[in-house]
Amino acid sequence: MAVSGLLGLRLERRANASRAMLLVTPPLAVLLTVLSGAVLFAALGFDPVKALMSYFVAPISTRYGIGELAVKATPLAMIGIGLALGFRGNVWNIGAEGQLTLGAICAGGLALAFHGQEGPWLLPLMMLAGAAGGLAYGAIPAWLRTRFNANEILTSLMLTYVGTLLLSYLVTGPWKDPDGFNFPESRLFNDAALLPIILDGTRMHLGAPLALLAVVVGWVIVARTLIGFQIKVVGLTPIAAGYAGFSQARTIWFTLLLSGGLAGLAGAIEVAGPIGQLQPSISPGYGFTAIIVAFLGRLHPVGVLLAALLMALSYLGGEHAQIELGLPLALTGVFQGMLLFFLLASDFLVHYRLRRVAPPGVRAARGRVGEARRRWTSFP
């Protein structure tokens, strides 16, 4: 740090993470992303102001748009809550996309199996099946990690590819719609297998309150339970956790099962909500975007909710700008990646500070002044 030394500044690790910076940096990262977005739009030959309006404002200026925001934020918040808990404990579940897919397969399979003989019991059963599917799929990396020490990042990600291929097999093979002109899709679910709309004139469905419930449960786990505390300690100081008798294996199992279950539930909600059938692709990468959601939300349930809304807006904006201005849809991914970069860069301000380092003579003099002042103030 020669340069900062020259300026009389020194980089210091803060004893405690700065709470103020923890709250200020996410909006700062968003601002920087929007500014870079303007530059990018200009570079692509679009009027930056018009493009930004079309991307970030126009999509949610209608009632329908608000509903769409909720539709997209629902899976993001739900998955993000689970991932955030895991990340707190240094358990890196990167395979939420795969767990979502398995949830969708389980819920969708149920809807197809009971096609034509549904009752009010079907929908809750589908949700349970989805959560169970995701949970079981999250159990694989948990088992491989605790039993064989295999890195959960790589195993959960590999399982995502396996899950997608399994879905592809099902919708092109045994579950293909018999009257579907050979399209790789299942038949459309009946009404009893679809989540009811809760806001007229939009697609907002019962999944949105379920996601809010997940946020509340996540908050309770983080703030009010022993396991939430254990996860945090295991993540921050594994050695201290060991002395306290907190098991790392239990943290791994709990967080992977929980995040897998929530991702599976999100998958069930997607097929029973906006999609209404099984298709080869049931998610525009929600499982991966939820990673950004978890970080942007500072691994805190309330933050995750806000971040999920923002990321939902980035999906909507991408679609809107594509239709309106012919901007490429891939911009969404660029924006999301950029936002995470800015956030990680600004993390620097949370954990470190630049401090003026006075020359030794000044320091000594300051010490004497301080000494005198203390003597005066402690004078009776």
Give the binding site for other proteins (CB under 8 A): 1, 10-13, 92, 94, 144, 148-151, 153-155, 157-159, 161-162, 165-166, 168-169, 172-173, 288-289, 291-292, 295, 328, 330-338, 340-341, 344-345, 347-348, 351-352
Residue 281 CB, shortest distance to other proteins, in Å, is 12
The pairing of beta strand 9-13 with beta strand 352-356: antiparallel
Give the 3-state secondary structure of residue 355.
Answer: strand
Question: Rounded to an integer, what distance in angstroms lies between the CA atom of residue 112 and that of residue 214?
Answer: 27
| Beta carbon nearer to other proteins, 210 or 321 | 321
Give the 3-state secondary structure of residue 12.
Answer: strand
Give the 3-state secondary structure of residue 337.
Answer: helix
Question: Rounded to an integer, what distance in angstroms lies between the CA atom of residue 319 and that of residue 329?
Answer: 6
- Summarize the chain as % helix, strand, coil (round to 5): 75, 5, 25
Amino acid at 188: L
Amino acid at 137: Y
Residue 46 CB, shortest distance to other proteins, in Å, is 13
| Beta carbon nearer to other proteins, 131 or 308 | 308
| Beta carbon nearer to other proteins, 1 or 323 | 1
Residue 121 CB, shortest distance to other proteins, in Å, is 32
Residue 380 CB, shortest distance to other proteins, in Å, is 41
Question: Rounded to an integer, what distance in angstroms lies between the CA atom of residue 199 and that of residue 54?
Answer: 24
Residue 210 CB, shortest distance to other proteins, in Å, is 26
Q: How far is CA 116 from CA 144, 175, 184, 352, in A?
A: 40, 15, 21, 61
Residue 350 CB, shortest distance to other proteins, in Å, is 10
| Beta carbon nearer to other proteins, 209 or 328 | 328
Amino acid at 273: G
Residue 292 CB, shortest distance to other proteins, in Å, is 7
CB 195 within 8 A of CB 61: no
| Beta carbon nearer to other proteins, 355 or 373 | 355
Amino acid at 100: L
Residue 161 CB, shortest distance to other proteins, in Å, is 5
Dihedral in degrees, nearest 10, Cα atoms 47, 49, 51, 53: -160
| Beta carbon nearer to other proteins, 132 or 311 | 311
Residue 322 CB, shortest distance to other proteins, in Å, is 11
Question: Rounded to an integer, what distance in angstroms lies between the CA atom of residue 268 and that of residue 108?
Answer: 7
| Beta carbon nearer to other proteins, 277 or 332 | 332
Residue 11 CB, shortest distance to other proteins, in Å, is 5
| Beta carbon nearer to other proteins, 105 or 272 | 105
| Beta carbon nearer to other proteins, 65 or 280 | 280
**What token pair was written down for 308?**
């999920």
| Beta carbon nearer to other proteins, 6 or 226 | 6
Question: Rounded to an integer, what distance in angstroms lies between the CA atom of residue 111 and that of residue 109?
Answer: 5
DSSP state string for 76-126: HHHHHHHHHHHHHTT-----HHHHHHHHHHHHHHHHHHTTTS--TTHHHHH
Closest CA to 259 of 16, 82, 138, 118: 82
